[in-house]
Amino acid sequence: MKEFVLIFRMDALPEAGYSSEELEPMMKKWENWLENLIAKNILVSHGNRLGAESRIIKNGKVITDGPYAEIKEIIGGYNIIRANSIDEAAEIAKSCPLIGDSAIEVRNIFDMNRK
């Protein structure tokens, strides 16, 4: 099996605009989805939300605000999963109960040890 990263992208914090009573069942769906990945031995690791502030260093010398100076997207977190193909990884991502206005980017992880 190969490893893929699921990057959770959003334009606003997913909890914005929801009361705690509304958010609780949504978070429970998220927790159940993660538990299902664990039970199937698909989840490799889980990463937390990344901050909006970032810098890009180009050619080891030039530091710029990034990745987009005019748009600040939020990376709501990421999961690394196991799947046989990127299409299978996308199907797994498709089953995720997204919260709010968000998207999931699926990318393969290059295995440096693979021959």
> Is 97 part of any domain?
yes
Distance CA 67, CA 55 (A): 7
The pTM (predicted TM-score) of the whole model is 0.80
Distance of CA 44 to the CA centre of its chain: 13
Q: What does the DSSP 8-state code read for residue 7?
A: E
> Is 40 part of any domain?
yes
Q: How many of the other CB atoms lie within 10 Å of CB of 83?
A: 19
Tens of pLDDT, residues 60-101: 787 877 655 455 667 888 999 999 999 999 999 999 987 667
> Is 115 part of any domain?
no
Q: What's the structural domain count of the chain? A: 1
> Is 114 part of any domain?
no
Quote the domain boundaries for residue 91.
Answer: 2-108
Distance CA 113, CA 25 (A): 41
Percent of the chain past pLDDT 90, that is, above it, reads: 43
Any idea what the CATH number is for the domain that residue 40 is in?
Answer: 3.30.70.1060
